[in-house]
Structure 1
């Protein structure tokens, strides 16, 4: 599934190129994933559970595919440790097994894709 989504993201990037807002890439990738027959949720809310309380602080996963694959989209100069921490936190909080981080602000998208695996501690 991750391999398929990477191919769809590359198709979106090939068609649009760099320089657009993150929301444009999100909508186009959502379209491609839906057309590929995969279940996808856009801006999936992710609450924080702490002991006996649940905090709804507006954390949103850009795209969640088949309740397993977290997709985070960026249009930044370069990835930073904050971007890595964000997706790792989403994987941990949601107990999702796999995440992909895409930076669409790049000449060649495949050089700006990071894969993350949730390894429970």
Structure 2
């Protein structure tokens, strides 16, 4: 499945999670866990808090990058639960995409009244 098809599943699952949990107000980790569950129910392979080594020049750093959700090995999902979106979230996700050599990621802010308003698509040479 291609990145865009996976992202459609992620968006649908995020809306379902937000609806099922009653909207904003919970911890980010709750939404992350629920989204991972919902995605696995649709047949997606989901890795939660997926550690990924970070290389700086010729050294692998001791502290790995921890990705909130890696879906089907192709799309990174960065979960947030804040009442105001900050554009730095997209910049951070772009860095993750570059480090992992992936092309698509979604920042999903479950802190929005309507989660569809909190979904931000980030691309890296897609």
* TM, length-normalised to structure 1: 0.93
Q: How many residues align?
A: 120
Name the CA distance, whole Å, in 2 between partners of 1:70 and 1:56: 22
Matched, 1:69 2:75: yes
Match of 1:30 among 20, 32, 36: 36
Name the CA distance, whole Å, in 2 between partners of 1:56 and 1:4: 34
Which residue pairs with 1:8 in the alignment?
Answer: 13
Q: Deviations over 1:8-36 (max 9, x none)?
A: 00000011111000011011111111111
- How much is the aligned-residue C-alpha RMSD, in angstroms? 1.3
Structure 1 runs not aligned, ≥5 long = none
Query: How far is 1:92 from its partner?
Result: 0.5
Which residue pairs with 1:95 in the alignment?
Answer: 101
Match of 1:78 among 68, 74, 84: 84
Moved beyond 4 Å, runs of 4+: none
Query: How far is 1:77 from its partner?
Result: 1.9
Structure 2 runs not aligned, ≥5 long = 1-5
Residue 82 of structure 2 aligns to a residue whose secondary structure is coil
Name the CA distance, whole Å, in 2 between partners of 1:96 and 1:26: 20
